[in-house]
């Protein structure tokens, strides 16, 4: 019952703070934020994804393995992209199991790596790359960049989102390829008609 009350209060707060349009719906977890751009998803899908994100954050917070601190998630149309670095395979498996326990999850894309936490230099480099990706993508496609989520782990840039414009996605990928330090681009963007 407490979870339901928490979800309702969080959702109402989001609507009050950001307005009633899908553009204003935000849901954050750790260092990532999911932003929904108007026109790419229905309001019902936006609500479903925000609910999944909130429930996922609550479950990750309850985890004894500090999953909330080590794993970032992005939710688009019930598809959950997980990125981050954990200490061992058991934690990685536990995180995936936790995501599948959430009602409404249709697919889990597990890009969580097992290993040591990145050094400060690696972390700073990844943060710089993500900042450059977001900036250049915004310069390239304007406000439509809000349809995408970007995350960088050890030089690998992950893109998630939903778009009906494949040429726009290709423009973003082309721009990302020019950024120094990008080792690989992993594309989890869903193309719609």
Whether the CA torsion 173, 175, 179, 80 is positive or negative: it is negative
- Domain residue limits, the chain: 2-114, 120-191
- Give the pLDDT confidence score for residue 39 in this predicted structure: 46
Q: Is residue 52 within 8 Å of 37, Cβ to Cβ?
A: no
CA distance 50 to 43: 10
Convert the pLDDT of each residue in 96-135 to its tens digit. Answer: 999 999 999 999 999 988 887 667 788 889 999 999 999 9
Architecture of domain 120-191: 2-Layer Sandwich (3.30)
pLDDT at 163: 87
CB-CB contact of 73 with 61 (8 Å): no
User: Mean pLDDT, to the nearest integer, of 16-28?
Assistant: 40
Q: What is the 3-state secondary structure (H, E, C) of 71-137?
A: EEEEEECCEEEEEEEECCHHHHHHHHHHHHCCCCCCEEEEEEEECCCCCHHHHHHHHHHHHHHHHHH
Q: Which residue has the higher pLDDT, 86 or 12?
A: 86
For 157-179, what is each residue's pLDDT tens digit? 999 988 889 999 999 999 999 99
């Amino acid at each position: 019952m407490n979870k339901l009350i928490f979800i309702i209060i969080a959702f109402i707060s989001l609507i009050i703070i950001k307005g009633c349009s899908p553009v204003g719906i935000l849901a954050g977890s750790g260092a990532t934020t999911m932003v929904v751009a108007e026109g790419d998803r229905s309001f019902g899908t936006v609500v479903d994804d925000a609910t999944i994100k909130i429930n996922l954050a609550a479950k990750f917070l309850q985890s004894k393995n500090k999953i909330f601190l080590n794993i970032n998630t992005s939710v688009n149309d019930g598809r959950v992209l997980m990125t981050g670095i954990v200490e061992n395979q058991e934690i990685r498996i536990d995180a995936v199991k936790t995501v599948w326990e959430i009602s409404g999850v249709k697919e889990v894309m597990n890009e969580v790596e097992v290993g040591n936490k990145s050094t400060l230099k690696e972390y700073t480099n990844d943060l710089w790359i993500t900042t450059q990706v977001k900036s250049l993508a915004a310069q390239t496609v304007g406000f439509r960049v809000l349809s995408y989520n970007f995350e960088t782990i050890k030089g690998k840039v992950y893109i998630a989102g939903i778009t009906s414009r494949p040429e726009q996605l290709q423009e973003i990928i082309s721009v990302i390829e020019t950024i120094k330090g990008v080792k690989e681009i992993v594309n989890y963007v869903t193309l719609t008609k």
